[in-house]
Amino acid sequence: MRPLRNSCEVAVIGGGLAGLAAACHMARLGRLVTLFESSYMFGGLVATVDEVHGLPLPGKFSGQDLAIHLLEDARKAAVQIIEAGIETIETGAVLRITDGEGHVHKPEVIIIASGASLKKLGVPGEEEFTGRGVSRCATCDGGFFRGQDVAVTGSGDAAVEEALVLAKICKRVIMVCRGPLKAKRDYIEKIASRDNVTFIWDSEITEILGENGVEGLRLRNVKTGESTDIDCAGLFPFIGVTPNTGFLPASMLEASGHIKTGEGLTTSHPRIFAAGAVRAGYGGNIVQAMAEGVGAAEAAFRQLTVDQLTV
């Protein structure tokens, strides 16, 4: 009798857009795929986006809509989904993954699409008030601040998108920015047209104030050093992201913590591939994330085929 194939023939780490696209494509190529995702929220950071831009498709989609669609496709394609993170990867002749539950898997190839996490401010009050006024999802939590003043800190696309969502339901949105806005031109035009959005420039948050919840912020002007306090009921920090690569050996990473990749989304190990926000050189575009997921699956499939022909 023919022996059973490895049920974790291909491991995909991360249930964001890149990971879901990779898992779906690899499964449709006939491989046995296991997808690992540590968060209940599939789709990664895009799942919190109110309206996804840049897709060559008619109609409007939220990030959550897109993530649910890709997750359903993965399940239909018989992708095995394990809701656990990854503790370690051993990159010897035999690849070994230890998941967050302590289970060991021995995939033949690995696609790392673990994405990135929003950076923390690292100021007093941030941990204490997370879930009690500090949020990183306007779509999820904006309704709790209806008719109130809230603050958003950051100057990129994500910060402006959050402010636009909040401006529809909050009395006032205060944007705290260290420097000029770096968002897309159409985002900047939209935020500039909102009468209830105000800006505090050249400033950073040094402390989140309150007792049982957020009541205000202490700011420092980065040019003058002057300290001021402002009142608000909530804070939405979007000051950048950091790659989710804590489970990987340092030899695979750039100084920034991103995975070093070469031609065909290859890493320093011939049977490990990377796609999306976790890798150095990723452009930050949603379409690119999904395209890289498919590309990594194609490259991993070719490697598997070569390996099995030489056995």
List all residues 6 or more positions away from 3 whose beta carbon is below 8 Å from its beta carbon: none
Query: Is 26 in contact with 51 (CB distance < 8 Å)?
Result: no
Question: Stretch 121-131: mean pLDDT, rounded?
Answer: 96
List all residues 6 or more positions away from 169 whose beta carbon is below 8 Å from its beta carbon: 142, 143, 145, 146, 147
- What is the distance between the alpha carbons of residues 170 and 210, in angstroms, rounded to a whole number? 19
Q: Which domains does the chain have, with CATH numbers?
A: 10-117+241-309 (3.50.50.60), 126-237 (3.50.50.60)
What six digits make up the tokens of 192? 């500039």
Look up tokens 């104030």; give the residue: 209
Show the CA angle centred on residue 84, arms to residues 269 and 40, nearest 5°. 120
- What is the distance between the alpha carbons of residues 118 and 46, in angstroms, rounded to a whole number? 12
Query: Is 117 in contact with 244 (CB distance < 8 Å)?
Result: yes
Residue closest to 235 by CA, chosen among 266, 275, 206: 206
Taking the alpha carbons at both ends of the chain, their separation in whole angstroms is: 19
List all residues 6 or more positions away from 145 whose beta carbon is below 8 Å from its beta carbon: 166, 169, 170, 233, 234
How far from 213 is each of 148, 156, 206, CA to CA, in Å? 14, 26, 17
Q: What's the mean pLDDT when you consider all of the chain?
A: 91
pLDDT band at 276 (very low <50, low <70, confident <90, very high): very high
**Is 1 a residue whose pLDDT tops 50?**
no
Chain mean position to CA 122: 19
Q: What is the pTM of this model?
A: 0.86
**Is 188 a residue whose pLDDT tops 60?**
yes
Supply φ then ψ for residue 112, to 5 degrees. Answer: -95, 115
Query: Is 228 in contact with 213 (CB distance < 8 Å)?
Result: no
Residue closest to 236 by CA, chosen among 120, 147, 128, 65: 120
pLDDT given at position 3: 42
pLDDT given at position 6: 64
- What is the distance between the alpha carbons of residues 285 and 201, in angstroms, rounded to a whole number? 27
pLDDT given at position 285: 82
Query: Is 162 in contact with 155 (CB distance < 8 Å)?
Result: no
pLDDT given at position 4: 47
